[in-house]
Amino acid sequence: MSDRGLLEQLDRTTETLSHSLTHLVKYASITEDKGDEEDEHGTQEIPESTVRTSTAGLMMVNAQTAQLIRGVQDLLVMTRNIREKWLLTQIPDEKIDSQRELDYQKCSQLLEQWTQEVLGTDQG
């Protein structure tokens, strides 16, 4: 069933979304702490490990932000899909069909009237 798939996807995206803000904050603090150390050591001698950690932290922050946005996007796509399902796979009401049949009778009558009129004007 497709709905089970939707539920699973929802669970997964929610989980990543709820984690991503925490991760974001966590990695943000890594970069900043190391940044403070950089100032202490001076700009000339930055230890290689510090550079590595802060760069890694920055990359993680970017990744987490992207994940956050992508998760929300996925959920928006999901609402769109559900909307499409409601609108497109509807079983049509029987009322509409009966309306159509009524229309046909009236239509043939109208057409006849119209042909008469057109022929009448042609003759005259």
Chain positions contacting other proteins, by CB under 8 A: 1-3, 6-7, 10, 14, 17-18, 21, 24-25, 28-29, 32, 65, 68-69, 72, 75-76, 78-79, 82-83, 85-91, 93, 100, 103, 106-107, 110-111, 113-114, 117
Q: How many CA atoms lie within 13 A of 91 on its CB side?
A: 1
Closer to other proteins by Cβ: residue 8 or 51: 8
* Paired tokens of 114: 């119209």
CA distance 65 to 19: 11
CA distance 103 to 93: 16
In whole angstroms, the minimum distance from the beta carbon of 60 to other proteins comes to 14
Question: Which of 20, 16, 18, 13 lies closest to 64 in space, CA to CA?
Answer: 20
In whole angstroms, the minimum distance from the beta carbon of 79 to other proteins comes to 5
Closer to other proteins by Cβ: residue 44 or 108: 108
In whole angstroms, the minimum distance from the beta carbon of 53 to other proteins comes to 16
CA distance 42 to 98: 85
Closer to other proteins by Cβ: residue 4 or 48: 4
In whole angstroms, the minimum distance from the beta carbon of 4 to other proteins comes to 9
* Paired tokens of 116: 């008469």
